[in-house]
Structure 1
């Protein structure tokens, strides 16, 4: 567990912290666009368009997540999302941390050491996915899959190589918004540090208040949030 915490607390590794993931990865006024220069490229573009539509179709979502680092250390918790740009990763009780975005900034809070690290979304590794004010055109590459109902897309910002690569894995699900459900993602940062986040028990369309995307500043109190 301490290895997970050491990994999460490094700003350069923010992409690996589930939400500096992706949210990774979820949020979402983003275009996973590729140049279409031939008829051969068209199926890839169609799948990318499907993935974008599926992400944008999510208004609110909750899901359980499991985050695993390259050494095999795992930690679990609950993800809460509200588009655009708001995401919260609430870790299990023995990981006294929180990752949250309020749509403007991304914050990592470590209650054990009373530390708060905060980045404007545009300066964070997830900025390309979470910033609702950027006209972001990301490049996505469809990855081969041995299963027909799986769509796997590797996404990177060629202008921001320090953001690394995020591979989003979708599974066909007629009950999910847009017909595709984001099942997992793999984040590989510029130091080749790999973090995998798997989602399960997705719930959509609930009311999520603004308070879900706030945090208690541990520098002002020694109590853990309720």
Structure 2
């Protein structure tokens, strides 16, 4: 197992639910997305991750805003992705490697920080139905950070009347990874140690 196989994933108050009865403008849709994201303090879900070749992995996602996330993969995949509020860490237990980089250098920053200026870096993409809102986020001054396109679907009773269906991550070389979420729970309790990780690297002893 190598990091390159998974790097594409990173190359992001209860409100009254509202369901639009008429087509909304892009600014209205963006406002709904921002409202939803600010209303979500925590989220847990199961996920499926599909790469450009069609290979699929599954796992469990835990998110706590701002800045914390945990991707725990299926049992036969010894890989862990964790953000602790400062850095994003990829741990490969098979080859005992650890890779870290600032959260802000990843398109996931848009998902993990509810204060992210989506109006500045995001734009609404057209969809085939008014019940779906698609938001593409990219920093034009940092194309190497990649692009994330988040898909939100109307859901009465969910924070802001929306639920996050998943996202598509695109790196600077146009390599695509798709994440789809299921069994989502919003604003539940998450243990404080959920965003820690065990270092697999051997301890270097001084001679």
Q: Same fold judged by TM-score > 0.5? A: yes
Give the aligned partner of residue 17 of structure 2: none
Determine which of 61, 69, 72 is the counterpart of 1:87.
Answer: 69
Question: What's the secondary structure of 2:91's corresponding residue?
Answer: strand
Change (3 A) 1:187 1:75: same
CA contact (8 A) 2:67 2:109 kept: no
Question: What's the secondary structure of 1:206's corresponding residue?
Answer: coil
Question: What's the secondary structure of 2:122's corresponding residue?
Answer: strand
Change (3 A) 1:101 1:157: same
Give the aligned partner of residue 182 of structure 1: 164
Give the aligned partner of residue 40 of structure 2: 58
Give the aligned partner of residue 34 of structure 1: none
Distance in 2, matches of 1:134 and 1:53, equals: 12
Distance in 2, matches of 1:64 and 1:194, equals: 20
Q: How many residues align?
A: 192
Give the aligned partner of residue 163 of structure 1: 145
Distance in 1, matches of 2:27 and 2:107, equals: 24
Determine which of 8, 17, 27 is the counterpart of 1:45.
Answer: 27
Distance in 2, matches of 1:150 and 1:133, equals: 22
| More off after superposition, 212-221 vs 127-136 | 127-136
Q: CA deviation at 1:189?
A: 1.0
Q: CA deviation at 1:43?
A: 1.3
Q: CA deviation at 1:83?
A: 1.0
CA contact (8 A) 1:168 1:184 kept: yes
Change (3 A) 1:138 1:7: farther
Structure 1 gaps of 5+ residues are: 9-13, 26-41, 222-226
Equivalent residue runs for 1:198-217 within 5 Å: 198-217=180-199
Q: CA deviation at 1:140?
A: 1.9
- 1:138-171: CA deviation from partner (whole Å, max 9, x where unpaired): 4222111112211111111112111222111100
- 1:4-54: CA deviation from partner (whole Å, max 9, x where unpaired): 86421xxxxx4x22xx38xxx3xxxxxxxxxxxxxxxx8111111111111
TM-score, normalised to structure 1, is 0.77
Determine which of 148, 151, 170 is the counterpart of 2:130.
Answer: 148
Higher relative CO (Cα under 8 Å, sequence separation at least 6) belongs to 2
CA contact (8 A) 1:187 1:196 kept: yes
Give the aligned partner of residue 98 of structure 2: 116
CA contact (8 A) 2:47 2:61 kept: yes
Question: What's the secondary structure of 2:76's corresponding residue?
Answer: coil
Structure 2 gaps of 5+ residues are: 13-23
Question: What's the secondary structure of 1:55's corresponding residue?
Answer: helix
